A and B are shown apart, each in its own frame.
Chain A
Amino acid sequence: MLLSVENLEVKYGNIQALHGISFDVREGEIVTLIGANGAGKTTSLYSIARLAPPEAPKVVGGDIRFMGESILDTAPSDVVKNLKLALVPEGRHIFGNLTVMENLELATYSRDKDADLDKDYQRIFDLFPRLAERRKQRSESLSGGEQQMLAVGRALMTGCRALMLDEPSMGLAPVLKYELFRTLKKLNKEGMTLLLVEQNAKLALDIAHRGYVLDTGTIAASGTSEELAGNPEVRKAYLGG
């Protein structure tokens, strides 16, 4: 098991956001967490990324294990550096005052100085040719879709083996959404493990192997994508009938 979340309970101040949820991700899988706003999807990702307060919640119960080891005491930068688990946050959070290339370069901060970075840059530019065209541009001048590509490309440049994505389709035009999800599928085929949080459940279940439905901080349903897509309650609540 690459990642397992066990009976995780977290709080923001006095407000409990997760009430003992469990889920796991195996190497090479695409797993999706779906659910309404406020269900605890982002909270789950922030907890795994070990982000510090005030953004992130405090774990009050349960455990998060990466390859069997608890990571509750791991610093957020070490989750990226040592566990090679990267997060593409909701809202992209690209560094708008840096160029596209600088954003990508910054993501290599914790990697070995002699790592073969050129190959990795080339891989990003193959996946997202638009970024190659705009590599010298200040990234705040990119369109929303290009910013999302940069956010994904930047996360990949950390040298991660597993990628968490928080609402990657948000704010994208339909054609860009499909393009992005095709790219994610392709990444997965090349061996990248994905943990995908999406409000657009249909899009997520289309590419995911398995999924979990979150509802107000608990797991309401789980199963393979086909099972979830065929589940009448899931269909009614998240897939528009």
Chain B
Amino acid sequence: MLASILQNVINALQWGSFYALIALGYTLVYGVLTLINFAHGDIFMVGAYIAFFVASFALTTLGLPGWAALALTIPATMVLTSLVGVTLERIAYRPLRRKGAHRLYVVITALMAGLILENGNLAILGASRKAFPPLIHETVYTIGGVSFTNLKIAVIISAFLVFAFLHWVVTRTRVGMAMRAISYDKFAVPLMGIPMDNIIVVTFVLGSAFAGLAGILFAMSYPVLEPYMGALIGWKAFIAAVVGGIGDIRGAFIGGFLLGAVEIMVVAFFPSTFRDLIGFTVLLVILTFKPTGLFGVAKTTKI
């Protein structure tokens, strides 16, 4: 019994890590732009594909061993994915912001951008799935009836390290301070001599880089890539961010793991086809009682 609980906890942490990593990107962008970047799930997909190409290149063309290919794939994918995120901001969102467009139009633009990424991928690479090459040897450890792999542990540790890093950025650095300031009062930020666009770019770099990292880890864990792989996981990560309290990185992190835990628990006790139905119902109930999410606070301003 205890072993089965521990097993489920490990599975939930691993599964929740993907949601948490993606949800962090949603919440960062929302905090700074009050924009729900619906293309973010597809940035994750693009990250997985970039990882696929970099890893294949490193393994076959360069002939590197698996570990070296991985060491190259991680930074290269994060950099390239963040470039995709920044480009998206530059060509899709910034022009609208310049014109002072209503938030609704920006959200619709984000949805369209996501569809363009999915269908662009489909048009360029075709509908056939890609098999992600194995980069590390997956070892299964079993301790007291609980089994886990080195990859699962790496996924969980990565999520925690990313959270610790982002938490440090947001609370301790000047850029992070500016990000928090923007989330409270956009108007006054340029008056502090802070170029808004730079902060926005940093936000997209961080969010997309970690979506790229999630893409690598996901592709290593479930090595089949297809153009729509980011759609559902992206929606779920977004919901995780909302349940946690969108705009707060602790919320995104906790929300991601919460969603992962709910899904794993449902599968443990019910047929797996009930997973999304029960999972979303639980989240709906949480939001009914706490509409601002677990860490969200209703904003008040003092005049």
Q: Using CB atoms and an 8 Å cutoff, list the residues of chain A in contact with chain B.
A: 49, 51-55, 75-78, 80-81, 86-87, 89, 91, 93-98, 102, 105-107, 109-111, 140, 144, 147, 154-155, 158, 171
**B185 contacts A76, CB within 8 Å?**
no
Contact A109 B191 (CB under 8 A): no
Complex interface: chain B residues within 8 A of A55 (CB): 187
Closest to B102 in A: A54
B180 adjacent to chain A (CB < 8 Å): yes
Residues of chain B in range 171-201 having any CB-CB distance to chain A below 8 Å: 174, 177-178, 180-181, 183-185, 187-188, 190-196
Is the pair A86, B191 in contact by a Cβ cutoff of 8 Å?
Answer: yes
Point out the residues of chain B lying under 8 angstroms from A91, CB to CB. 303
A-B contact pairs, 11 of them (CB 8 A): A52-B98, A53-B100, A77-B194, A80-B190, A96-B301, A110-B193, A110-B194, A140-B301, A144-B302, A147-B302, A158-B193
A144 to B303, CA, bound (A): 7
* Residues B192 and A109 in contact, CB atoms below 8 Å apart: yes
Interface size of B by CB at 8 A reads 24
Q: Chain B residues in contact with chain A, CB under 8 A? A: 98-100, 174, 177-178, 180-181, 183-185, 187-188, 190-196, 300-303
Check A93 against B193 for contact (C-beta < 8 Å): no
Q: B184: which A residues are within 8 A, CB to CB? A: 95-98
The reply to whether B191 and A87 form a contact with Cβ atoms under 8 Å apart is yes
A80-B191 contact in complex given A91-B303, A140-B302, C-beta closer than 8 Å? yes
Complex contact A106–B302 (CB within 8 A): no
A82 closest partner in B (C-beta): B193
A166 to B194 CA separation, bound complex (whole angstroms): 20
Instruction: Given A95-B185, A105-B174, A109-B174, check contact A76 B190 (CB 8 Å).
Output: yes
Report Cα–Cα, A106/B194, bound state, in Å.
9
